Amino acid sequence: MATIPITVAKGDGIGPEIMDATLTILKEAGAPLEIEEIAIGEAVYKAGHTSGIEPSAWESLRRTKVFLKAPITTPQGGGYKSLNVTVRKTLGLYANVRPCVSYHPFIQTKHPVMNVVIVRENEEDLYAGIEHRQTDEVYQCLKLISRPGCEKICHYAFDYARLNNRKKVTCFTKDNIMKLTDGLFHKVFDEVAAKYPDIENEHWIVDIGAAKLADTPENFDVIVMPNLYGDVLSDVAAQIAGSVGLAGSANIGPTAAMFEAIHGSAPRRAGQNLANPSGLLLGSILMLVHIGEAEMAERVHNAWLRTIEDGVHTYDIYDESVSKEKVGTKEFAQAVVARL
Amino acid sequence: MATIPITVAKGDGIGPEIMDATLTILKEAGAPLEIEEIAIGEAVYKAGHTSGIEPSAWESLRRTKVFLKAPITTPQGGGYKSLNVTVRKTLGLYANVRPCVSYHPFIQTKHPVMNVVIVRENEEDLYAGIEHRQTDEVYQCLKLISRPGCEKICHYAFDYARLNNRKKVTCFTKDNIMKLTDGLFHKVFDEVAAKYPDIENEHWIVDIGAAKLADTPENFDVIVMPNLYGDVLSDVAAQIAGSVGLAGSANIGPTAAMFEAIHGSAPRRAGQNLANPSGLLLGSILMLVHIGEAEMAERVHNAWLRTIEDGVHTYDIYDESVSKEKVGTKEFAQAVVARL
Ligand SMILES: CC(C)[C@H](C(=O)O)[C@@H](O)C(=O)O
Ligand SMILES: CC(C)[C@H](C(=O)O)[C@@H](O)C(=O)O
């Protein structure tokens, strides 16, 4: 069987543990992957690479075009650029897709009927990284929104909805205040929506939209929005579905893609076999779909789901009323493997 | 008894109805107010005043320095400036204070133990209103953060906490991305926090902070943050506490103040005696405290609370499992008056 080369980075904090767990499961499932490891994160930053990635790593990323990435720790202090943002922008990963699903009654949630996909614009907005000091007392950051950027992400959202049999795409902006920038996003959304008459569309001002999402997420399906709103509201959606620890994310570009957990590197939990590998595993399942291994993706997902349903839970989602067995990272991975 | 002059605007949509209800209750309570009415909103915009307020109204606002404002409708289309933002900036109302409280078991909520006050910076950030077109395809909006702005709002939050016997002030920023602008806000927060050793302080990146707020609001007390995050997260907090329809808001400056509901003008509900006047009434109670009528504020608040506890509810919060009587705007006001 032909193997598919992917680039993998184990990151910092709990990163290596959840990556080992994820790779163990993928391997036992028979995923035809050829793994190239690159170094990213704290040590690389401290060695003087301001983006936390070694120049040589780009060569691997450009060749494999598929990146499975564990969370990293960015050192405190100035001079360090966000690795996530650098990779997203360098590889043109314009769409950040974050499914936020509740697993009621197996994982505690106040929102049992929730299956929302946040499609976050991933290159523009305040993340363009243009920030400057005007005087010692005044700082500015530029929010940038372009028509091509809006068109790409809105098309992506509707195409995603169509492909995944989703019924509605909602857009959030603050265009009553930012009439030009968010106004453009909303306008392009309406233009693109008109090309997908089979899919319902709606727009909410982000304040009341976010309030509705946090209160009645069952009323949402796919939601597309500018970068920063998507950053904040995907954490909100994932957390109220059950836990930010359970959400994976796909960063998609025209030629390359990166897959990750949405949570951070949790340094205080590191090295104790405590961490929940589910976020990264679900990210890797999105990766399997991306590389054309949809059946394998479903098999791994079902094994994971059965593990969760059997009450085999790591500490972060352990709840006496629903959990049966409290396990560590490795044992969780073994439980998934046993159910493949 | 000496009366205190205040400026009142009835606004659009449900505005006139909820304002009449609120003023009826204040009058029956014996609030010593001398009311000057000004016109704002849709008709004023359409008469050619781009900010939705007549030039002569400023004279009243500058004289009374206290503004009780109903929601307005901003006409669709370009050329109209936000009235809220104009008033806030013109009068220097730098602090927007939004208590978000749950009234369990009298009003349905998934978060029965919630009593959060959002202190939102109210003049800077992307609300500075500096937006421009670079090319036909690229638009920019400037996010502006100043040291004096950060100092004022952070001091306000800690002073508020001290005065109201609150134990903790939390700060939300995205300073891992916006290192200069949000970095300044965070830095000033830490500096100010050090001057209030009696009050606990903490900082969260706004993504995970918002997720925690939406999931476990019982862990928060006072939260201070830049303008746009405060806009979105105060709607989130109010809604999950019970309803955005139940939250009032105080906009405070060094010499003047504006009080309002946090919800909008709901044109489709207008003129039907349906609307819930609670948001504006709670805003007016914050006004009573501001003008030194704390006892009267408590009396009105208690009457309102008893009305809610007695299950006398408008349609928006009516719930068979807890409500006893479904009433209209006027009947709700009469029920509060009867309990004064
Ligand atoms: C780590 C950080 C730069 C990143 C972001 O803000 O995009 C993270 O919060 C995420 O959502 O992937
Ligand atoms: C109406 C709008 C301009 C306003 C804002 O964004 O501040 C509103 O949402 C609020 O929160 O008071």
Domain locations along chain B: 1-100+242-340, 110-241
One-letter-per-residue 3-state SS of B277-310: CHHHHHHHHHHHHHCCCHHHHHHHHHHHHHHHHC
B68's CB contacts (< 8 A; 6+ apart) are B6, B7, B8, B9, B19, B22, B258, B259, B260, B280, B283, B284, B287
Nearest CA to ligand 1 atom 2: A84
Ligand 2 touching residue B84 (CB < 6 A): yes
Nearest atom (ligand 1) to Cα of A88: 7
State yes or no: pLDDT of A257 exceeds 90: yes
* Residue of B82, B139, B319 to mutate for A, most A C-beta atoms under 10 A: B139
Task: Give the pLDDT of residue B85.
Answer: 94
DSSP, collapsed to helix, strand or coil, labels residue B213 as helix
Please give the radius of gyration of chain A, using alpha carbons only, rounded to the nearest integer: 20
Task: Give the pLDDT of residue B77.
Answer: 75
Nearest CA to ligand 2 atom 5: B231
CA of A264: which chain B residue's CA is closest?
B208
Q: Is the dihedral of CA A51, A52, A56, A60 positive or negative?
A: negative
Say yes or no for a CB contact (<8 Å) between B180 and A139: yes
Ligand 2 touching residue A176 (CB < 6 A): yes
Q: Is A303 on the interface with B (CB under 8 A)?
A: no
Q: How far is the CA of B276 from the centre of ligand 1 (A)?
A: 39
Q: How far is the CA of A226 from the centre of ligand 2 (A)?
A: 19
Question: The domain A1-97+243-340 belongs to what CATH superfamily?
Answer: Isopropylmalate Dehydrogenase (3.40.718.10)
Task: Give the pLDDT of residue A129.
Answer: 82
Q: How far is the CA of B84 from the centre of ligand 2 (A)?
A: 7
Q: Is B132 on the interface with A (CB under 8 A)?
A: yes
Task: Say how many C-beta atoms besides its own lie within 10 A of residue A179's C-beta.
Answer: 21
Mean pLDDT of chain A, nearest integer? 97
Which residues between 226 and 285 in chain B have a beta carbon less than 8 angstroms from any beta carbon of chain A?
Answer: 228-229, 231-236, 238-240, 244, 264
- pLDDT tens-place string over residues A84-126: 999 999 999 999 999 999 999 999 999 999 999 999 999 999 9
Task: Give the pLDDT of residue B234.
Answer: 98
CA A147 to CA A127: how far, in whole Å? 16
Nearest CA to ligand 1 atom 5: A231
Please report where in the chains the tokens 């509605």 appear, as a residue: A168
State yes or no: pLDDT of A77 exceeds 90: no
CATH number, domain B110-241? 3.40.718.10
Q: Find the DSSP H helices in B6-163.
A: 15-28, 42-46, 57-64, 83-90, 147-163
- Cis amide leading into B105 (omega within 30): yes
First vs last C-alpha separation in chain B: 20
Task: Give the pLDDT of residue B25.
Answer: 98
- pLDDT tens-place string over residues B296-332: 999 999 999 999 999 999 999 999 999 999 999 999 9
- pLDDT tens-place string over residues A317-330: 999 999 999 999 99
Beta bridge mates, B118: B98, B223
Nearest by CB to B207, from A176, A207, A231: name it: A231
Q: Is A167 on the interface with B (CB under 8 A)?
A: no
Upper half-sphere CA count for residue A160 (Cβ side, 13 Å): 28
The answer to whether the pTM exceeds 0.75 is: yes
Nearest by CB to B178, from A126, A147, A178: name it: A126
Say yes or no for a CB contact (<8 Å) between B145 and A138: yes
Which residues between 17 and 56 in chain A have a beta carbon less than 8 angstroms from any beta carbon of chain B?
Answer: none
State yes or no: pLDDT of A78 exceeds 80: no
What share of chain A has pLDDT > 70, as a percent? 100
- The list of chain B residues with pLDDT below 50 reads none
Q: Is the distance from CB of B11 to CB of B71 less than 8 angstroms?
A: yes
Ligand 1 touching residue B179 (CB < 6 A): no
Nearest atom (ligand 1) to Cα of A85: 3
Top mutation candidate among A73, A96, A231 for ligand 1, by most atoms within 8 Å of CB: A231
| pLDDT, mean of residues A278-288 | 98
Ligand 1 touching residue A82 (CB < 6 A): yes
Ligand 1 touching residue B176 (CB < 6 A): yes
Residue A173 parent element (H or E): strand A168-173
Task: Give the pLDDT of residue A79.
Answer: 81
Task: Give the pLDDT of residue B1.
Answer: 66
Task: Say how many C-beta atoms besides its own lie within 10 A of residue B28's C-beta.
Answer: 16
CA B58 to CA B64: how far, in whole Å? 10
A296's CB contacts (< 8 A; 6+ apart) are A29, A30, A31, A288
Best CA proximity match to B206, nearest among B130, B118, B88, B95: B118
CA B250 to CA B262: how far, in whole Å? 9
* Residue of B131, B204, B232, B240 to mutate for A, most A C-beta atoms under 10 A: B232
Question: The domain B1-100+242-340 belongs to what CATH superfamily?
Answer: Isopropylmalate Dehydrogenase (3.40.718.10)
Structure tokens at A86: 């650098």
pLDDT band at residue A1, thresholds of 50, 70 and 90?
Answer: low
Structure tokens at A220: 């949402």
**For chain B, counts of helices (H) and of strands (E):** 11, 14
Top mutation candidate among B76, B85, B231, B260 for ligand 2, by most atoms within 8 Å of CB: B231
Specify burial of residue A104 (Cβ count, 10 A radius: 0-12, 13-18, 19+).
middle
Nearest CA to ligand 1 atom 6: A231
- pLDDT tens-place string over residues B53-64: 999 999 999 999
Which residues between 77 and 96 in chain B have a beta carbon less than 8 angstroms from any beta carbon of chain A?
Answer: 78, 82, 85
Nearest atom (ligand 1) to Cα of A84: 3
Nearest by CB to A215, from B132, B137, B240: name it: B240
